[in-house]
Amino acid sequence: MKVSKLAENIIGSEIIKLAAEVNEKIKNGETIYNMTIGDFNPKVFPIPTELKQYILEEYEADQTNYPAADGMAELRQAVSGLLKQRGNLDYKADEMLIAGGARPVIYSIFRALVDAGDTVIFAVPSWNNNHYTYLNNAKAVVIEASPATNFMPTAADIAPHIQSASLLALCSPQNPTGTVFTKEGLLEICDLILNENKRRGPDAKPVYLMYDQIYWALTMDGVQHFDPVTLRPEMKQYTVFVDGISKSLAATGVRVGWSMGPKFIIDKMKAILTHVGAWAPKAEQLASAKYLSQLDKYDAFLAIQKQKIAMRLHGFYKGFQTLKAEGHPVDAIAPQAAIYLTIQLALHGKKTASGEVLTTTRDVTRYVLDEAKIAVVPFYAFGASENSNWYRLSVGTCREEDVEKAIVSLRNALQKLS
């Protein structure tokens, strides 16, 4: 049977492929330190108790019919307050769209702003920009970021391509790296966009910025999150945000995300999602509205959440620095935000005890999984080159006691290489 060209040529997730291999090992009784998924173990990182109770109450009250197409007014108002009081962003309820998590938001941004054949600029490693560009039949301009800038793209990287672009897709804090834009770095990118749109003039289609800040509440101590609109208020007419509670409240399965941006774009995104039906459930929306209206509870939960995440991220970072000091060819970038640590496993060319040479990144990934029992995601799964020796380590499902155990297991595996 024949299917559409889009369906025939769509690429599956490399992370899901790796996860299937990991799950098979776990199913067979192996102990695996699974650091692959950008999710939370609810037994380790549960959602706020009050939020859970509010959700149950809304279902008891039979709030099970369709929600408003742009989101329940109560939630849009609560998010508006959250953004203003904690994010220094001034967006009214009618400049906001609620959806079933961040993915429908990203999909609708692409559909609203990008035509077939348009150019989309994004850096790698990054999460799924390549797939959304493909789904829109758009042209991808891919920038491979480097460890010199903590894998964050720069204005100098973007500048050669800006004149042909319809959309620039950025994420900070970044998935998969857990790193953030500096104030200066983001300012330079904002000015690049503003200057390009000035050059195009008022009658031309501008270059827009999709700014994914789904992890913005999860910054480490001493690290500040920056957004384009606060830094350059003129960017408000060109910026569409991706945000939600999935990561900040460990609520990935609750499916409440939102976007804010120019009203005429938000209205078009609403129309698109009306036909897709990717709404957040009504009960979850009303419950989230209640919870986000009590910022004292939100702040208290985040304080504990960030402490738990930081303990794990810094524990792994310290462990990798210890291994590096012992002479092993590994490294890590100091954690800045989100639930991710960027690690390096420079094991290409090493020989195992059985005489196998680790020639490719896939060889290294398999060796670390088989011998150290550690599952991490190579950056090529996020669009980086196949021979990159950098990886994402996610701590969302990690128990506190597993940090030291995983480092010991990795050390034992590294000591077997020659």
Q: Which of 138, 146, 109, 101 is nearest to 121 (CA)?
A: 138
Average pLDDT rounded to a whole number, residues 278-306: 97
* pLDDT digit string, tens, across residues 210-243: 999 999 999 999 999 999 999 999 999 999 999 9
The predicted pLDDT at position 354 comes to: 93
pLDDT(1) > 80 = no
Q: Which residues contact 256 (CB under 8 A, 6 or more apart)?
A: 75, 98, 100, 101, 244, 245, 246, 280, 284, 285, 288
For the chain, domains (ranges, CATH) are 5-45+302-415 (3.90.1150.10), 49-299 (3.40.640.10)
Q: How far apart are CA 418 and CA 410, in angstroms?
A: 15
DSSP assignment string, 391-408: EEEE-TT--TTHHHHHHH
The predicted pLDDT at position 408 comes to: 97
Q: Which of 404, 247, 411 is nearest to 312 (CA)?
A: 404
* pLDDT digit string, tens, across residues 8-23: 988 877 787 788 888 8
Q: Which of 175, 187, 216, 254 is nearest to 89 (CA)?
A: 216
Strand order in the sheet with 377-378: 330-332, 340-345, 390-394, 377-378
The predicted pLDDT at position 43 comes to: 96
Predicted TM-score (pTM) of this structure = 0.96
Pair 124, 133: CB distance under 8 Å:
no
The predicted pLDDT at position 356 comes to: 95
* pLDDT digit string, tens, across residues 82-102: 999 999 999 999 999 999 999
Give the number of other Cβ atoms within 10 Å of residue 380's Cβ: 20
Q: Which residue has the tokens 């985040």?
A: 302
Q: How far apart are CA 68 and CA 64, in angstroms?
A: 12
SS3 272: helix
The predicted pLDDT at position 385 comes to: 93
What is the residue-averaged pLDDT of the chain?
96
The predicted pLDDT at position 341 comes to: 98
* pLDDT digit string, tens, across residues 134-159: 999 999 999 999 999 999 999 999 99
* pLDDT digit string, tens, across residues 29-74: 989 999 998 999 999 999 999 999 999 999 999 999 999 999 999 9
Q: Which of 98, 108, 104, 110 is nearest to 136 (CA)?
A: 110
pLDDT(412) > 90 = yes
